[in-house]
């Protein structure tokens, strides 16, 4: 009896009457994709550098609050109290640089 049930289930599946169930994984938000493309060798989720209170995602959010545009590249530059994120952005064909202080989150630049 068990064999007959298995054969019926298999034949229904093969005839296309029952669609297979597949798990779908949602893609990461565009912002993370842009960060991954901008700096693919750096994992922003693991072990942030010492003396950094603002991570890359937060720096991008702070920059986008003050300036419109797409993120082209982000890198952490400087040492000690002068550490900051250098964010290259593009808006309507104009490329500009925004700096976000890694400790305070202060945003400067845009030229």
| Mean pLDDT, contiguous 10-residue spans, the chain (111 residues) | 52 51 54 54 52 88 95 94 95 96 92 70
Residue 15, pLDDT score: 54
CB atoms within 10 A of CB 55: 16
How far does the chain reach from its first CA to its final CA, in angstroms? 77
pTM for the predicted model, two decimal places:
0.55
With tokens 């068990």, the residue in question is: 2
Closest by CA position to 72, among listed 48, 90, 56? 90
**How many residues are listed for the chain in this entry?**
111
In this structure, CATH architecture of domain 28-109: Roll (3.10)
Q: Which two tokens stand for residue 38?
A: 């901008």
CB atoms within 10 A of CB 60: 24
Residue 4, pLDDT score: 53
Residues with Cβ < 8 Å from 36, sequence gap 6 or more?
28
Q: Which two tokens stand for residue 19?
A: 């669609």
């Amino acid at each position: 009896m068990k064999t007959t049930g298995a054969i019926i289930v298999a034949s229904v599946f093969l005839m296309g009457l029952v669609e297979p169930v597949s798990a779908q994984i949602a893609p990461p938000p565009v912002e993370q994709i842009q960060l991954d493309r901008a700096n693919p060798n750096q994992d922003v989720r693991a072990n942030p550098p010492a003396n950094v209170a603002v991570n890359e995602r937060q720096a991008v959010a702070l920059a986008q609050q003050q300036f419109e545009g797409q993120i082209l590249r982000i890198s952490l530059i400087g040492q000690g109290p002068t550490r900051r994120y250098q964010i290259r952005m593009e808006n309507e064909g104009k490329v500009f640089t925004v700096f976000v202080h890694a400790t305070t989150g202060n945003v400067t630049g845009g030229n």
